[in-house]
Amino acid sequence: MEVTICIVSLTYGIRRIFVLNRFNTHLNFKTMSNKNQPPGIVPTKAELEALKILWKHGPSTVRFVHDILNKEIKNVGYTSTLKMMQVMTEKGMVKRDETNMTHVYYPLLQEQKTMGLMAERFVQNMYNGSISSLLVAFMQNKKSSKKELEKVKELLRKLEENK
């Protein structure tokens, strides 16, 4: 007896349908929270936008990622999105499930670890690793709102209390 599960997801008016049957329900959801993230993988700006979509919406097809990119970021060709997702698969950033006719991509990189690595590299490249130099630049930025500055001050107070 074959059991079929159909998952329909409506996000931003875009319909995603995933059909799983008892033979391919072994989707590796473990990869969505991969604890053994390869060290040092830093996505490009375009790859990061695709990863943000996968982190926010979960496993998705190239068509879904492409539609969101075009709607929210910039107009890109479908084949460009497809090629980027294929390259991301080769780099180990995403995994492609090929058990169904439409391939579904899963993020292999964790959002927090990836953002942390990118922040570390930014501080290293721009401020020679000095967080205090970053904070001075942030505090002098005229775009920083009073609310943001108060938040930073509160974080610094908490750090001081914990020492």
Q: What is the CATH classification number for the domain harbouring 56?
A: 1.10.10.10
Q: What is the CA radius of gyration of the chain?
A: 20
With a pLDDT cut of 90, the percent of the chain lying above it is 35
Q: 106 forms bridges with which residues in the sheet?
A: 95
Highest mean pLDDT: which range of 7-16, 32-41, 64-73: 64-73
Residue 34 lies in a domain: yes
- In this structure, of 26-30, 50-54, 96-100, 109-113, the range with the lowest mean pLDDT score is 26-30
Q: What is the mean pLDDT of residues 122-135?
A: 86
pTM: 0.64
Q: What angle do CA 24, 27, 33 make, to 5 degrees?
A: 175
Residues 49 and 69: beta-carbon distance below 8 Å: yes
Strand partners, 97: 104
| Cα 26 off chain centre by | 23
3-state class (DSSP) for residue 128: coil
| Residue 132 placed within a domain | no
Overall domain count for the chain: 1
Under the banding of pLDDT at 50, 70 and 90, the label for residue 38 is low
Is 150 a domain residue?
no
Task: Indicate the average pLDDT of the chain.
Answer: 77
Structural domain boundaries enclosing 72: 4-113
